[in-house]
Every structure is written in C-alpha cells, then in structure tokens.
Amino acid sequence: MATLHMFLSILLLFLLISVQTIPPTTATKDDTLAPGHALAVGDKLVSSNGKFALGFFQPGAGNISSKSSTSPGWYLAIWFNKINVITPVWVANRERPIAGPDLRATQLQISKEGNLVVLNNATQSVVWSTHITGNRTNATSTTTTSSRAILLGSGNLVIESPSSEVLWQSFDDPTDVALPGAKIGWNKVTGLNRVGISWKSRIDPGLGSFSVGLETNGTRMVMVGHRGYPSQVYWSWSPDESPMQMPALRALLKMNPQTRGLVVPEYVDNSEEEYYMYTSPDEASSTFLSLDTSGQTKLNVWSQANQAWQTIYVQPIDLCRSYATCGPFTVCTGSSQPPCECMESFSRTSPQDWEMGDRTGGCSRRTPLDCNGNKSSTDVFHPVARVTLPYGPRSLQDIPPTATRGECESACLSNCSCTAYSYQDSKCSVWHGDLFSVNKDDAIEIRSEYTLYIRLAARDFPSSTGDKRKPVLTGVVIAASVIGFGLLMLMLLLVISRNRFSWCGVSSNATNEDSVGVVAFRYADLGRATKNFTEKLGAGGFGTVFKGALSDLTSVAVKRLEGAHQGEKQFRAEVSALGLIQHINLVKLVGFCCQGDKRLLVYEHMCNGSLDSHLFESNGTVLDWSTRYQIAIGVARGLSYLHQSCHECIIHCDIKPENVLLNEAFVPKIADFGLASVIGRDFSRVLTTFRGTMGYLAPEWLSGVAITSKVDVYSFGMVLMEIISGRRNASVVHTSGSDHVAYFPVQAINKLHEGHVQSLVDPQLYGDFSLDEVERVCNVACWCIQDNELDRPTMGEVVRVLEGVKELDMPPMPRLLAAMTAECSDVASM
C-alpha cells in the first residue's frame, strides 16, 4: 500500500510549459563543471546518458507576438536533451532573468566559496547562487574550493566535494517539475521542505500562483494551494482518505502501454525524512510530474510515436477547482474551452497575459460604479445563476436575519465597497472588493444552485434607467432585432423541416409517431405553459427543468438553460443532436425558444421520471426484472441508433441512470444531450473538453486523447451493473468496527466467472428473475467496461446479444478491476 502513496502525491507537481527556443550549442558536452571553468550562453553540460542538458535558454521566444513590448529574458535551466520539444524541468534564476545586452558577460561557474553562481562579469554582480556556505557548517575552504558541479543522468544537478559528498542538489530546490527520483517531502533534521511552485505563464518561469508540498504534521497529506492565500488549499490527497483511488490509478498505469513499468511509487517516513518519490525502471523513457499555470497537477509521458508529450493523469480533473485560476471578476466553466470568461461588463485586464496563460490579473470594469455611498445610487445588479459563491463573503450585522432580498440588495448598494451579494434560504451575504473563484455548475466536479448578483454601472444597462430620449433609435434596434430573429427562426425551421428524415437512416426501431416538426415557442408562451416556471421537475448541469402543459393540454418538460455562454453551447448541442432525429428510445424534442439571451428546450414529458429514482431511491417504484431487461435493451437500441444509424455519429458522452427517462409504459428514452459530440463518418474520433459523470467515465477520458463512441459503451456497461444490483456501483459497506468502499463491478465479474450471478441481483426482486437474462446482461456489462476500447463491443453488437441472436465469450477481468481487487484486499488486511 505504501508504494502507491507517493504517486498520487507527486502527481502534484506541474506541467509542460510550451515550445521554447534555445541557442545553438557551441561548447563541451561534458557533464561536469570544474573550478576554474565557466559555462557561457551557447554552451551546455550533457548528462553521461545524454538524456538531460544544462545551459541558458530563452522561453517561448518563437511564440512572442511582434506587438509585445517586452521579450522574455534568459535563464539557466535543465531540459530533456534528446526531445525536440524543449521542456525545462528546472530553472535557476526564476525571478532574475538575464537581459539580452548582458548575455555575453554572463557565465556559470564555481565561486571561490564553492557555490555554483551565475555571474555578470561586466558588473561583477551575482544573478543567482546556490548559497552552500550558509547551509553547511562543516564545509571547509579546502572542500568548497575543490567542489565541482555534475549533471547526473537523473536530471539532478549536484555539487560534490572531493570526497563525493553532496553539498547541494537541484532536486532539493524544485521549480514546477518532479522527475523520477526527486523527493516530495521534508527533512525532519534540517527542516528542508521541498515545495514546488508553478510558472507565472507559459513564457515566464517566475514564481506563479500555485504551490504543492507535503504537510509536515505527519498526516501524509499532499497539499496543492494558492500561494497568495495560504488557507486556500483547493486539492489534497492522502492514501488514508482515498482507498479507491489507489488501485484505480495503479491499474491505469499498468494497462496503458505508454506507462506500463514506467512509474514505481514509494513512500518513506523515518526519523530523518518523510517524502514521496517515484522511480522509472525504464531508463529510456521520459516522464515528469508538473503543476501548470492553471493549478492542475499532471503526469506527462513522452510519446515517441506521436513525438509529443501526452498527459495521462490530471488532478483536479475540473480546472475550475484551482483557487482563483481565472483571476478576479471572472466566471470559470470547466466544460468550456477556454474555461475563463469575464463577468458581464468587464474586460480582460491584460489580454496578452491571458494568451500566455497568466490570468492572475483577471478582468476590470469597463464603466466605474456610481459609488456615492447612499441608497440613491443608480448602480444595478446583474444575476449570474448556478455558480459557486466567491471567496470571503461577509454577513451583514445591521439587517435582521429575516431580511428580504430587496433589503439585502439595498444594504449592498449603500456601501461603496460592496461589489456583489447573494440571497439564499433567507440568508444575505455580501462581498467587498474583487470577486474570486466564481465557478459555473459544469456537471464535472462543480455543482451549485446559488445565484450571485454582481454590481454594475447603470450605464451598462440603458434599459434599467428608463431613458426614453432616443425612441426612434430604440425602435429601429428593436425592429431590426425582431426581423433578424424571425429570419433566423425561419431558416432554422426550414433546415429542420428539410433534413428531419434525411439526416438519419431508416431503422426498424424508429418511432412511428406522427411528427409535427420542432416548434419555435415564444418565451411568454412557455411562461404561461409552466405557470411562470413554478413546478420544478429537476436540475441538470446546465439548467433547470419545469413541468408544463401546452394549449392542447400536451404535457411537456421545459428545460431553461442558465448562463449565456454555456447555455448557448448546450442549446446548440441538444438542438443539433435531437432536432433532426426521431427514435422511440430518444426523448422527443417538441420545440425551443431562442429569444434574446433566453434559451429553452421543450421535450415530451416522461411521467415516470428517471431510471435512478427507481433503482436507488427508497420511495421509487421497484422495477421488476422484465421491465429492467426491456429498459436495458431500449437504451442499447437508442445508443446504437445514435452511433450507427444517423448520417453523423452522435456520441452522447454522459450516459447514466439520471439521463434515462421512463414514459407511462416504462419505455426508456435517452435524454440530456448537452455534452453530445457529433463526428462525421469519415472520422472515428473527436477531441472534446467535455467530460461526463464520475463513476461512468471510460479510462481514456483521463488521457486527454480524442474519444470514440466506445465511451458511451463503457458508461452503458456501468449502467447495466446498476440495473442488475439496484444500487450504485460504488458504495460504503459497514462491517464490524470499520467501513470500506465496495465496488460492485469487481464483485460482478468474479461472480460471473464463478457461475453465481444470481447473488448479484437486487434483493428487492426476491428471486423473481430470469437467470439466463441476468447472466447475459452481466456478460455484456463486463465486456462493455473493458480497459481497452478496442475490446468493447459496438452498441449494435450489444443489442444483438441482449436480444439473444448473438453470443459473447466469457469476458476477461479488466486490468483496472483486477488491480482494484488486489489493492482492496491489501487494504482490508491492514
């Protein structure tokens, strides 16, 4: 167990920075710098195995815009010598770049005190030094003046005494990268604590916003946080708190051909030191852990075939989890690309810095507030829905606990420094100054029902001032908007009408219901149909669903998308996926509303709700086995139609019980296409930043590679497991004296191999099920969740197996599950 502890922790260090340039080499390829010798710009030391080089480089010089007023300076650094993408793994003078005019006078050499120094010979000033003398009391003049610097094959730069004692090493002074053999932890005797710090931007190695290190209180906790706010630890890991992560992570490393045998983790805690470390038995491989400028920690592996770095593991998965990753007055959406946007009426403080990955400056107001400190202020408040509330709220002391939202707003308006407020469950909170970490509900790792009201100048919202001085211009704008909207709707309806039946191929499973086309609704009509959006059916990642009834008494479900930018993305995704297709196992899109900034989608109403309410909730209807089996076949048919029968392959990307709706006859219909990706038949993969729901994600999601329709197959396999058991795949099991996490797929495949699948079935069925059908479903599920996507069946094959017209062999145990089984056994025995 201890061997895996390190890995996740040193997952904590840092990312590849970008393509950078380095001057041509003109000097020695020796790995040693001896006293009396110097390394100038253009020279480099090369490790004995040829893997690493030390020299001076200028980051991102080839990527600097010609409009830039400043160019990056030069730095002493170590990088991978044989890889054509210059990747620094250690930088010395991070805060003191060498200016171009000083290059010729700058050298690296051993000082008379034995320190390694970067010296400007023209001014005799020290740009950077190792400061050995101050740290070692036993260093004599003899040993220091005879010391030498060696670049080892591990990428570690060391200063050795004549007796080979290590006086200093770069592994004890990390920047943003941890190489194999580097320790992440602290020395209990000397107090040395190795803390990694991200770069400022992709072209600036200076000290950035994020840091990572080992907590020194004996908790084995690795902490990643924002440097400016020590208390803001946004991600941490301890092997004691994440037992299910360890086997999953180990299995991911073993099953990936690029990482198998490359990473061997280790954890050490003795009287002198506590640290995590990993080694790489394959000396020919190239790997590193990094902390990037956005605060994510990543494990990177060099792909010789692709001649590129590939990120195979990321934490946190949702970039918006990093504290203040987008800077002040921004909204972060993890499922968007780019993820950071300025709030309404704000603009990027430094667009150039944003382009280079440095968003610490965030956004600034376009129009100053009317801050006169009294309630006559003409400022207005703009709502931002479904976001996490900013850091540092203040509760108002001078208003009663039962204050209304209007009183909360007035209290904020009367204070010049108040920039936002929220009103939730009769609680009023306000914020003064900059707003940090406002993150959109993105259905990845961030969920929130809160609404934040940000304070803006009334001039940015002319309609709020009641200004009627320009009625003619206003009328022209309104008329143009109405005409433009009408033409847009007419074109969309024509496209939908013309392509409705030509876009997807004919299928025997297609619905026979008469199609009346997709209707363009007015917002006012949908307001009346939903009784002003009062009967809430539920909430998804991008909006809220309300029950409604049309004029012909047809029951509908109206999804109101929230957030202008992200709502627009989901609106387009769902209309493009559902507007042109019809199938009995896909929820029917009745219509939509695209009026101003309002985006609504109207679906047929499914009176029996979603599958999860019947599988997991105590007050839900217990589905008999026959119904469950037909649901499994119906969902498989719907996915097969999306993948194989449409003109364009549609990948749903978020198959889970919550997105399977049931009509009055419990016929399943796949819903919520907000993450769907459409790919042409000439292509087999699509690259997307969207990720579905944890617990249903295929392993390849973590690699960052382009996905295929097989991600839906994997998710469907996980849903089948839950249909069999009637419970979540991962659940806490209470045993005598302790709790542990039980993972149902591990149990399922073991019982399948043993021939005892009947023990897997939901006990609420009281033995009333078809054993043949349960074995068939379990067999299909275990094939669907294979690690390698090539081993998974297509959804068409799944349908044929479930219908009994095709047989599958016994599936092998996925390596991911095998590793989890072994690791869980280790945990249980401890």
255-309 per-position pLDDT tens digit: 444 455 567 778 899 999 999 988 888 788 899 999 999 998 888 888 787 788 8
Q: Which amino acid is at 646?
A: C
- H/E stretch holding 351 reads helix 351-355
pLDDT at 21 over 60: no
Which segments of 461-530 are extended strands (E)?
A: 519-520
222 part of a folded domain: yes
Do 647 and 721 lie in one domain? The reply is yes
Q: Does residue 361 or residue 370 have the better pLDDT?
A: 361
Do 662 and 722 lie in one domain? The reply is yes
pLDDT one-digit tens code per residue, 502-512 = 334 333 333 33
Choice among 66-80, 163-177, 223-237, 791-805 with the minimum mean pLDDT: 66-80
87 part of a folded domain: yes
pTM score, two decimals?
A: 0.61
199-224 burial, b if ≥16 CB within 10 A, otherwise e? bbbbbbbbbbbbbbbbbeeeebbbbb
Q: Does residue 796 or residue 742 have the better pLDDT?
A: 796
Judge residue 728's burial from the number of C-beta atoms within 10 Å of its C-beta, 0-12 exposed, 13-18 middle, 19 or more buried.
middle
559 is in an annotated binding site: yes
Q: Which of 394, 237, 249, 236 is nearest to 323 (CA)?
A: 236
Do 438 and 505 lie in one domain? The reply is no
3-class DSSP string for 590-632: EEEEEECCEEEEEEECCCCCEHHHHHCCCCCCCCCHHHHHHHH
Domain CATH code at residue 153: 2.90.10.10
Do 650 and 797 lie in one domain? The reply is yes
Contact status, residue 30 vs residue 256, Cβ threshold 8 Å: no
User: Tokens 């790997």 identify what position?
Assistant: 287
pLDDT confidence tier of residue 183, bands split at 50, 70 and 90: very high
Highest averaged pLDDT of the listed ranges 75-84, 131-140, 596-605: 75-84
What pLDDT, on a 0 to 100 scale, did the predictor assign at position 139?
A: 41
12 part of a folded domain: no
Q: Residue 126's beta-bridge partner residues?
A: 119
Q: Pick from 437, 465, 493: which residue ends a domain? A: 465
pLDDT one-digit tens code per residue, 366-405 = 999 887 655 556 889 999 998 999 988 887 666 676 778 8
**Mean pLDDT, to the nearest integer, of 747-759?**
91
As a whole number of Å, the end-to-end CA separation of the chain is 9
324 part of a folded domain: no
Instruction: Supply 828's token pair.
Output: 């249980």
CA distance 92 to 75: 7
322 part of a folded domain: no
User: What is the domain range of residue 567?
Assistant: 471-604
How confident is the prediction for the chain on average, in pLDDT? 78
Do 184 and 56 lie in one domain? The reply is no
569 part of a folded domain: yes
3-class DSSP string for 24-38: CCCCCCCCEECCCCE
Do 243 and 260 lie in one domain? The reply is yes
287 part of a folded domain: yes
User: Tokens 């690699």 identify what position?
Assistant: 703
What pLDDT, on a 0 to 100 scale, did the predictor assign at position 384?
A: 93
DSSP, collapsed to helix, strand or coil, labels residue 519 as strand
pLDDT at 759 over 70: yes
Domain CATH code at residue 577: 3.30.200.20
Highest averaged pLDDT of the listed ranges 136-150, 331-345, 454-468, 498-512: 331-345
Q: What is the CA radius of gyration of the chain?
A: 30
Q: Pick from 286, 316, 346: which residue ends a domain? A: 316
The Cα-based distances of 131 to 156, 158, 190, 212 in angstroms read 17, 13, 15, 23
pLDDT confidence tier of residue 20, bands split at 50, 70 and 90: very low
% of residues, the chain, pLDDT over 90: 38
What pLDDT, on a 0 to 100 scale, did the predictor assign at position 211?
A: 93
Q: Which of 601, 597, 604, 543 is nearest to 576 (CA)?
A: 601
Do 734 and 823 lie in one domain? The reply is yes
Instruction: Supply 734's token pair.
Output: 């209470």
pLDDT confidence tier of residue 78, bands split at 50, 70 and 90: very high
Do 160 and 187 lie in one domain? The reply is no
341-355 burial, b if ≥16 CB within 10 A, otherwise e? bbbbbbebbbeebbe
Do 616 and 748 lie in one domain? The reply is yes
CA distance 88 to 15: 10
User: Tokens 């961030």 identify what position?
Assistant: 446
Q: Pick from 128, 143, 170: which residue ends a domain? A: 170
DSSP, collapsed to helix, strand or coil, labels residue 191 as coil
What pLDDT, on a 0 to 100 scale, did the predictor assign at position 3?
A: 36
35 part of a folded domain: yes
What pLDDT, on a 0 to 100 scale, did the predictor assign at position 421?
A: 95
Do 679 and 795 lie in one domain? The reply is yes
pLDDT at 25 over 60: no
pLDDT at 799 over 90: yes
Do 47 and 138 lie in one domain? The reply is yes
Total number of domains in the chain: 5
Does the CA dihedral 502-507-508-511 come out positive or negative?
negative
Contact status, residue 362 vs residue 341, Cβ threshold 8 Å: no
**Mean pLDDT, to the nearest integer, of 51-75?**
68
Residue positions annotated with a catalytic role:
654
% of residues, the chain, pLDDT over 70: 73
Do 659 and 724 lie in one domain? The reply is yes
pLDDT confidence tier of residue 490, bands split at 50, 70 and 90: low
Q: Does residue 532 or residue 470 have the better pLDDT?
A: 532
Q: How many residues does the chain have?
A: 830
